[in-house]
Structures are given as C-alpha cells and as structure tokens.
Amino acid sequence: MWWFPLPVSIVLILIISIDVRRRRIPHVLTIGGTVVALAVRGTISAEAVFLGCLGVIVSAALFGAIYFFARWRYGARALGFGDVMLAALIGALFGPIGALWVLAVGMLLAGGYALWLRQGHPDRSNLTMPLAPFLALPALVALWLPAWRIG
C-alpha cells in the first residue's frame, strides 16, 4: 500500500512534537494508530494481522517491563505509559522482529543523547528528555524503506 506511510508519518510527527513540548503522548494517537495499522494489515492477510498483533504484544510487554522497572528504580517521571503505547504502535506497524529492530535503534539513539546531555550539566538529578523522538524517528525511516512496508 503505497499511501500508508504518509498518514502514519503524520501521526508519528504529531507524537514527536507533542512529546517534545509537553512530555506527554496522547493515547488517542497511539491507540488510533495501532488500530489503523492492524486494519491495514487486515486488508493483506490473516497472517499479517497475526504478526501485527504479535508485534503489539511483544513491544508492549518489553516496554511495559522497562516502564515498571524505571518507575521502581527512578520514580514516576522516569518513563511514561505513552512510551509503552508508542512501542505497541511500532509493533503493529512492523511486526515483532521489525519492531524490536526499530525500538533497539531508538533506544541506542536515546542512550547516546542522554550521555551527551549529562556531560554538559553539573546537576544531573533534574534532567529529563522526551523518548518519543528517539523511538519514532527510526520508525519514520523504516516506514519509507520499501523492504519494511506493510504489503
């Protein structure tokens, strides 16, 4: 489906811009995007829907575990549930294997930025950064690569 990356890209760009400004990811965008991604997969085959659902489960479980660990270890502001929902959206878009690659690249980018950010701040206790840009940017790149497209 040649047109599918365009609306998904708009949703991901909205998620990035809102998270950068407000440090929140609206669930209406992540849940709506997940539903649309699974619906588009439904026009392809039952196997595509199965892989999309499996991607949602794997990505949400992985980021859910990270979410609960981060809240336990670092407190309530460490990671938001919107990041877990964004991981689920990425799982719906790319399936379990593709989503793990996209999320791994995003976490590496976020880790590199966090290390760079910490270098310039003597008081490191109050540093925060949005995670959505680092998760959504690799997804945006992968969406426009023909090998990663749905269908």
Kindly state the DSSP code that residue 69 receives in the 8-state scheme.
H
Residue 150 has pLDDT above 90, yes or no: no
CA distance 65 to 84: 9
The model's confidence at residue 77, banded by pLDDT at 50, 70 and 90, is confident
Output 103 or 150, whichever has higher pLDDT. 103
Residue 99 has pLDDT above 90, yes or no: yes
**DSSP letters along 24-48, please?**
---HHHHHHHHHHHHHHHHTT-HHH
The model's confidence at residue 146, banded by pLDDT at 50, 70 and 90, is confident
- Flag the least confident range among 16-30, 92-106, 116-130: 116-130
- Flag the least confident range among 18-22, 77-81, 128-132: 77-81
CA distance 15 to 140: 12
What is the pLDDT, as a whole number, of residue 61? 98
- Structural domain boundaries of the chain? 5-148
